[in-house]
């Protein structure tokens, strides 16, 4: 078990190193910091001197080492546009994205669990078939089309909900700008989180259904039936518990998808989160911000994946991550 955890941690560190190297290369290749600093009226010699002083003429590996050292101390450079530490800029936007993802995930769980369970319990029922058909249809509608048309109808045609931004926020515990605690913020949250949930739900309906069907065929469920335990108890206590475990693992792996989807949703609804910030940074060629975003997102992503894997490994000792015989 210990070796499994250690191996998983080693892998996480390697992935993080790769990500940090990639973003270091991006920062080095995008734009010339010397030109940013001095403008056009400075001679070539002076530029060269400045390059030396900044350490830009050192070997790549030395520069990377320095970059890594600074990154470990929480210094990922200064944004060209915001003239602030990139980490501060990202930290200011982080709550918006987290709240959006959180609400979307809550919606997904609330919708997908009953539908998936129902479809698994009654596989031949016409309602289950239509749930499956609709989940295929839901999978086929790209998120940006969902978002755009939700916005068109609810915000433009019927004028029920706001179309962009985050609305009012309230300060929570002094460090979190939250939109969850007032009506305006919640109204703004509704459309983006519904669009996110709309495209994530079908994935989870299918997952829960497939897992649940597997579980329902296992011996312990048959035993529970023969013991005369009531149907709801079997379905919701015995079976669902073991269904949700793999679902959570795969859900953890979907973090990357969620991050990509937030980029799309945020740029459509101009949601002031990290994804929107990233697309802005790309248009402005704000290299330090781009690379800082990559590192932060990579970190979030690697930590979730590793945690999910390790927890799953702890709970279910049979897993040896598929594909490894070691």
Binding site for other proteins (CB under 8 A): 11, 15, 26, 29-30, 136-137, 139-145, 148-149, 152, 156, 203, 206-207, 209-211, 250, 253-254, 256-257, 259-261, 263-264, 267, 278-279, 282, 285, 287, 290, 294, 297, 301, 305, 321, 323-326
User: Minimum distance from CB of 148 to other proteins (Å)?
Assistant: 5
Residue 264 C-beta-side C-alpha neighbours within 13 Å? 17
Contact 119, 209 (CB under 8 A): yes
Nearer to other proteins, 185 or 273 (CB): 273
How far apart CA 116 and CA 130 sit, in angstroms, is: 12
Q: Which of 107/263 has CB closer to other proteins?
A: 263
Instruction: Please classify residue 103 by burial: count the beta carbons closer than 10 Å to its beta carbon, then call 0-12 exposed, 13-18 middle and 19+ buried.
Output: buried
Q: Kindly state the smallest distance separating residue 90's Cβ from other proteins, in Å.
A: 15
Report yes or no: 288 and 281 within 8 Å, Cβ to Cβ: no
Between 169 and 306, CB nearer to other proteins? 306
| End-to-end Cα distance, the chain | 12
CB of 17 to other proteins, least distance (A): 12
Based on CB atoms, which residue is closest to other proteins, 235 or 278?
Answer: 278
Residue (94 or 143) nearer to other proteins, CB:
143
- What minimum distance in Å lies between the beta carbon of 229 and other proteins? 27
Question: For residue 282, which of 291, 269, 271 has the smallest C-alpha distance?
Answer: 291
To the nearest whole angstrom, how small is the minimum distance from the Cβ of residue 253 to other proteins?
Answer: 6
Long-range contacts, 235-242 (Cβ 8 Å, 24+): 235/117, 235/121, 236/117, 239/212, 239/215, 240/113, 240/117, 240/212, 242/215
């Amino acid at each position: 078990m210990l070796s499994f955890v250690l191996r998983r941690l080693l892998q996480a560190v390697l992935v993080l190193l790769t990500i940090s190297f990639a973003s270091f290369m991006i920062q080095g290749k995008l734009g010339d910091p010397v030109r940013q600093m001095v403008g056009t009226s400075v001679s070539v010699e002076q530029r060269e001197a400045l390059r030396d002083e900044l350490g830009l003429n050192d070997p790549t590996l030395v520069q990377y080492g320095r970059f890594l050292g600074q990154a470990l101390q929480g210094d990922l450079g200064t944004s060209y546009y915001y003239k602030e530490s990139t980490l501060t800029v990202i930290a200011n936007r982080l709550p918006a994205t987290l709240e959006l993802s959180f609400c979307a995930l809550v919606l997904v769980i609330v919708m997908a669990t009953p539908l998936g369970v129902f479809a698994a319990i009654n596989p031949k029922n016409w309602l289950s078939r239509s749930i499956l058909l609709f989940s295929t249809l839901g999978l086929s509608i790209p998120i940006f089309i969902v978002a755009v048309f939700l916005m068109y109808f609810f915000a433009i045609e019927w004028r029920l909900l706001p179309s962009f931004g985050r609305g009012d926020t309230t300060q929570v515990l002094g460090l979190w700008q939250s939109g969850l605690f007032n009506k305006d913020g919640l109204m703004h949250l509704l459309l983006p989180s519904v669009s996110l949930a709309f495209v994530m739900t079908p994935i989870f309906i299918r997952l829960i259904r497939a897992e649940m069907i597997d579980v329902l065929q296992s011996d312990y469920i048959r035993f529970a039936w023969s013991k005369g335990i009531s149907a709801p108890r079997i379905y919701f206590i015995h079976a669902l518990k073991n269904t949700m475990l793999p679902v959570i693992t795969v859900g953890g792996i979907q973090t990357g998808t969620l991050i990509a989807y937030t980029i799309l949703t945020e740029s459509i609804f101009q949601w002031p989160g990290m994804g929107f910030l990233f697309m802005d940074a790309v248009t402005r060629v704000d290299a330090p911000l781009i690379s800082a975003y990559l590192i932060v997102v990579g970190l979030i992503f690697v930590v979730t994946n590793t945690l999910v894997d390790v927890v799953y490994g702890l709970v279910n000792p049979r897993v040896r991550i598929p594909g490894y015989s070691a």
